[in-house]
Amino acid sequence: MNAALLAALVFACFAVGYRWYSSFLARTVFALRDEEPVPARELEDGVDYVPTPKHVLWGHHYTSIAGAAPIVGPALAVIWGWLPALLWVTVGTVLMGAVHDFAALVISLRHRGSSIGEIAGRVLSPRVRTLFLLIISFLIWIVLAVFAFIIGTLFVQTPGSIFPIWVQIVVAVGLGWLVYRRGVGIFAPSLVAYAALLAAIFFGDAFAEAFPAVTRISVSGWVWILLGYAFVASVLPVWLLLQPRDYLNSHQLLTGLALLTGGLVVLHPTVQAPAVNLWPEGAPPLVPFLFITIACGAISGFHGLVSSGTTSKQIGCMTDARPIGYGGMLGEGTLGLLAVLASTAGFASGAEWSSHYASWSAASGLGPKLDAFVTGGGRFVAALGIPLATAKTFIAVMVIAFAATSLDTGARIQRLVIAELAEAYGIRSLTNRYAAGALGISLALLLAVTQAGGKGGLLLWPLFGTTNQLVAGVTLLVVSVWLRRMGRPYLYTLIPMLLVAAATVTAMLGELRGYFANFEERWLLAIMGSIILAADVWVLLEGGRILLAERRDVATAS
């Protein structure tokens, strides 16, 4: 099968979804209006609530949701064959993931920029708010610890990526100062800044050779540095670092997607993986675990946290929610698509692919998943005449930039979640952004360093996929109840919720069975997984009860 043809078919589905389905949702389901007030203007504070141009905010939102997960998930899921992975990325993105992100953004905009956890308390009950905020905090806790480890690992594996990543931070701060303090338009200086970043990529290896002390920093050392940076980023005003950095990252992301797509067109490689491989050695069943393994590339609860945690506080016009929420997820789906193709058509032969995906244990490690994307993507880019080593460095920098942006945003969301819990329980000291931010980062650091090499977060990483999808299901449930009360059509969010919840609860039960069977070694996963599942089922049942009760009340009244 020709990979370029597959990409063209998926892009066509994405275009149809945005042109017609997202328009229907905006008009009929959410009833968006240009003149509707938005939190960024009503509550503007210069720190979190900052009205932002649509194209700049799109860059923040897209790069925040496009972390490492939409790469490593598809890079593992292709072990079941390219066809199931490609179908889930396509259908999941258009009918579920983009709807979820769009809906989470809209409901937050209609609730003064509150997080989806806080909104759950208003729509369902205060008890649900606490349970859901704790689940969300647990999810972000894992993200912070693991993404810091992923970036540190890539820094060690690809020393040439260190220089351009840190150059980007310095340049982003300068860009933010120019735009918000000097009133300079962002587009032209952002192109200059991006050119500097691209140049830095070519000097990355030279920098590593000139300053060998930097390359000798261990993964655990980078975890400390990166989480310290994440704390600073989480408390700074969004206009100083988060927005300009993410805007620059969007340039890099779009360039990377263009190069990967262009390489596909030029190379038109053959997919080396089988279409369907139902029983890989050691792998769990295709259903439901495909829907958990590919999370962020099709639907992801973390996206709803970004939508309601940071993006909703920066939208300057209500109708911008459609291109940012729905359109941003289509960009995420594109990344998931290219990850699938890089991990199947990026191999030189079927034998090479079969060797890499010989078993679940061989393919499921972090290194093999990242290597499949970086190597396959590097080959696509090299087809355009770029040296393979430079192409692989560019892909590695792109992955790091994604993960770093999610790290920044995750730290800010964790700060806001802690502050919301503190406010609900009258803990005034933790409503301070510095105290809340420090607590969130300290807990992530504690998790990360509990195992040699900064791998502590990986202890709980097996729970990420299911917890992430459980959060997505609850988010869709909250939106469905809210739409029902508003008298709006709600089946477009309720049906995806039922599918996600069924697949995820089934998968979590299967995982817990395995954890308890090997309790001596996996007791932490067994206990934490049980707590998360119990809390989530509680929330789902409470939301379902409220939804059914309201339907009965309407039927009785009529």
How confident is the model over 391-411, as pLDDT tens digits? 887 787 777 777 778 888 889
pLDDT for residue 12? 96
d(CA 101, CA 117): 15
Nearest to 291 by CA among 92, 513, 515, 525: 92
pLDDT above 70: percentage of residues in the chain: 97
Structure tokens at 539: 């929330």
Is it the case that residue 488 has pLDDT exceeding 60?
Answer: yes
Which amino acid is present at 45?
A: D
Which amino acid is present at 27?
A: R
Is it the case that residue 557 has pLDDT exceeding 70?
Answer: no
pLDDT for residue 551? 67
The string of pLDDT tens digits covering residues 161-218 is 888 888 888 888 998 899 888 888 888 888 888 888 888 877 887 888 888 888 888 8
d(CA 296, CA 66): 8
pLDDT for residue 364? 77
Is it the case that residue 490 has pLDDT exceeding 90?
Answer: yes
The dihedral region occupied by 112, where left means phi > 0, alpha psi between -120 and 50, and beta the remainder, is: left
Structure tokens at 314: 């920066």
User: Which has the higher per-residue pLDDT, 392 or 495?
Assistant: 495
The string of pLDDT tens digits covering residues 437-475 is 999 999 999 888 876 667 777 788 788 888 989 999 999
pTM (2 decimals)?
Answer: 0.90
Structure tokens at 153: 């690992």
pLDDT for residue 370? 73
The string of pLDDT tens digits covering residues 42-56 is 999 988 899 998 988
User: Would you kindly state where each structural domain of the chain is located, as residue ranges?
Assistant: 3-449+466-472
User: Which has the higher per-residue pLDDT, 18 or 240?
Assistant: 18
Is it the case that residue 387 has pLDDT exceeding 70?
Answer: yes
Is it the case that residue 113 has pLDDT exceeding 90?
Answer: yes
Total residues belonging to the chain: 558
With contact defined as beta carbons under 8 Å apart, do 467 and 132 qualify?
no
Residue the block writes with tokens 């995806």:
496
Is it the case that residue 150 has pLDDT exceeding 60?
Answer: yes
Of 284-288, 389-393, 486-490, which range is least confident? 389-393
pLDDT for residue 335? 87
Under the banding of pLDDT at 50, 70 and 90, the label for residue 424 is confident
pLDDT for residue 392? 80
Highest mean pLDDT among 62-76, 312-326, 451-465: 312-326
Highest mean pLDDT among 129-138, 273-282, 311-320, 539-548: 311-320
Is it the case that residue 540 has pLDDT exceeding 60?
Answer: yes
Q: 279 Cβ partners below 8 Å, 6+ apart?
A: none
d(CA 277, CA 539): 36
Mean pLDDT of the chain: 88
The string of pLDDT tens digits covering residues 75-91 is 889 999 999 999 999 99
pLDDT for residue 553? 58
Q: Per residue, what are the HEC states of 163-208?
A: HHHHHHHHHHHHHHHHHHHCCCCCHHHHHHHHHHHHHHHHCHHHHH
Q: Taking residues 330-336, report their average pLDDT.
A: 91
Backbone phi and psi for residue 270, each to the nearest 5 degrees, phi listed first: -90, 135
Please count the other Cβ atoms lying within 10 Å of the Cβ belonging to residue 500.
Answer: 29
Is it the case that residue 118 has pLDDT exceeding 80?
Answer: yes
Structure tokens at 374: 């970086």
Is it the case that residue 135 has pLDDT exceeding 70?
Answer: yes
pLDDT above 90: percentage of residues in the chain: 39
The string of pLDDT tens digits covering residues 342-370 is 889 888 888 888 888 989 888 877 677 77
Structure tokens at 234: 């989480």
Is it the case that residue 312 has pLDDT exceeding 90?
Answer: yes
